[in-house]
Amino acid sequence: MCGIVGIFGNHSIATEIYDGLISLQHRGQDSAGIATYNKRFHLHKGMGLVRDIFRQEHMNFLEGNIGIGQVRYPTVGGYGLEDAQPFITGSPYGIAMAHNGNIYNFPELKKELIDNEYRYINSNNDVEVILSIFAYELSRFCHKEFFDSISMAIKSVYNRCKGGYSVVGTIADKGLFAFRDPHGIRPLVWGKRKNAKGEEHIFASENTMFEFLGYDFYRDVEPGEVVFIDMEGVVHTKIVEQKEFRPCIFEYIYFARPDAFLNGVSVQRARLRMGQNLAFKIKRDYPNLKIDRVIPAPSTANTAALACAHELGVRYTEGLVKNSFVGRTFIMPEQELRRKANKYKLSPIDLEIRDKNILVIDDSIVRGNVSKHIVNIIRRHGARQVYFASTAPPLKWPDLYGIDMPIRDEYVAHDRTTEEIKKYIGVDELIYQDLEDVIEAVVRKKDKIKFTRPHTAYFDGDYPTSDVDEKVIEKVEEYRRQQRKQAKV
């Protein structure tokens, strides 16, 4: 999962892109980059956190009133600087591009582009494939009206690139563009700001930076829609290709910040409802469970745990304190890094745990390492009973659209029953939220949103893109295994 920002302003915008990336740092901690345009492209990118990559001399260099930025954690590609975004190509015109998502037919497309269209792909990052297809098709249509040329080029991207993605980009002396995959799997929001010089626009994975940058939330970019803002500030929009709207439900469960508003749904409210629905299940199916404290696995689960505790009539307490400087272990690229980080991530408050029956609530259970670690900490500090509840159902299928969950046998629930998982993580009771209750928590305000069936394939195998079968899944899994071996080398 990555975070992207694109800004069309009427003044230098590098600092605003930097601030936007800081707000999206939770979406990727592997690398970051900014590209601006002012009669030429200016690019700086590096490995690590945004605050460590950009210095004042870099910001001074990033001139221009149009630009894009990205924070990354890898789902396709390696972990080196050559795979950091944005990417730039010189023809036609000059195009810079960054994306959030995943193209699962990337290896085939890379070979096609090299063998048949003579476009060399230098990296293992799938955005370079999107950029190459877009550039190739734009060069074929560039004699027509320019926005039509962009739309036709994006149509070709939709036809060839299989997966989920949101994209921002700039074209030299032409303007800023943004588009979203036909199912709207990955989020992309649009904000506007007016001043004496005119109207300015921002596109981002979340609207979390709109308030302090002074932008008003305008709307989501629609599935299959392209938005182009030319150098005169004129806005062009078109639905190029639209299919069933299937936004990723994991945005609401884990990835997005609670202050985000995506696809007409408040992430905060969705998580509150997840906690409420989880409490309903506990009261219905586990009526004899004696709970003294509800403790969240910090910090994504805090909101759901608060609602669950309120509904259960049990005291909520943050009995585990998170070291916020460790980062989000789920999006760290290597298993050993995640295990090491877990040791430093959490510190218990003994008074809230000792001699009590503890219900721990987490947003999900992926590999089981964090869950097991939390249970061990709580037991060491004298809890009588430890119960564990997940606001998400068991994860069993790989994600193909931009979440680093591509291999089934990495899931703790892949070949284990709930009872076996319960023993593995060492709890007295294990409770998974039902899928229909998670979906209901997100789509409860049906009259205010445009979708009823989010993407939940990692729970139930129901993939939005219709061509996914066992052969495709096995190919993706094998490709990811090979990449991880190469990364270790």
Measured CA to CA in angstroms, residue 397 lies from 128, 161, 218, 246, 461 at distances of 27, 21, 35, 17, 6
Measured distance CA(229)–CA(237) in Å, rounded: 9
Cβ atoms 157, 47 nearer than 8 A: no
Measured CA to CA in angstroms, residue 468 lies from 156, 461, 464 at distances of 20, 9, 9
Domain boundaries, the chain: 3-243, 266-488
pLDDT digits (tens, 9 = 90+) for 3-20: 999 999 999 999 999 999
Measured distance CA(205)–CA(5) in Å, rounded: 7
Paired tokens of 167: 């994209």
pLDDT at 480: 86
pLDDT at 141: 82
Nearest to 146 by CA among 226, 48, 26, 59: 226
Paired tokens of 317: 């307490």
Measured distance CA(305)–CA(382) in Å, rounded: 21
Question: Which residue in this structure is represented by tokens 């005169």?
Answer: 232
Torsional class of 426: left (φ above 0), alpha (ψ -120 to 50), beta (otherwise): left
Rg, C-alpha atoms of the chain: 23
**For residue 86, cis peptide bond before it (omega within 30 degrees of 0):** yes
Cβ atoms 421, 412 nearer than 8 A: yes
The active-site residue, picked from 2, 161, 248, 308, is 2
pLDDT at 142: 74
Please report, as a single letter, which amino acid is at residue 191: G
Number of Cβ within a 10 Å radius of residue 195: 11
Cβ atoms 97, 45 nearer than 8 A: no
All residue ranges of the chain with pLDDT < 70 are 75-79, 143, 326-344, 487-489
CATH architecture label of 266-488: 3-Layer(aba) Sandwich (3.40)
152 burial (CB, 10 Å; 0-12 / 13-18 / 19+) is: middle
Query: Three-state DSSP class for 384?
Result: coil
Number of Cβ within a 10 Å radius of residue 32: 30
Look at domain 3-243 and name its CATH class: alpha beta
pLDDT at 77: 55
Measured distance CA(111)–CA(326) in Å, rounded: 38
Length of the chain, in residues:
489
pLDDT at 489: 56
Q: Which helix (H) or strand (E) holds 211?
A: helix 210-213
Q: How far apart are the first and last CA of the chain?
A: 24
Nearest to 269 by CA among 458, 448, 462: 448
Q: Catalytic: 142?
A: no
Measured distance CA(194)–CA(211) in Å, rounded: 14
User: Using H for helix, E for strand and C for coil, what is the string for 2-68?
Assistant: CEEEEEECCCCCHHHHHHHHHHCHHHCCCEEEEEEECCCEEEEEEECCHHHHCCHHHHHHCCCCEEE
Nearest to 427 by CA among 389, 381, 394, 382: 389
* Non-local CB neighbours of 47 within 8 Å, separated by 6+ positions: 30, 31, 53, 80, 81, 84
pLDDT digits (tens, 9 = 90+) for 106-151: 999 999 999 988 888 899 899 999 999 999 999 988 767 999 999 9
Measured distance CA(232)–CA(151) in Å, rounded: 19
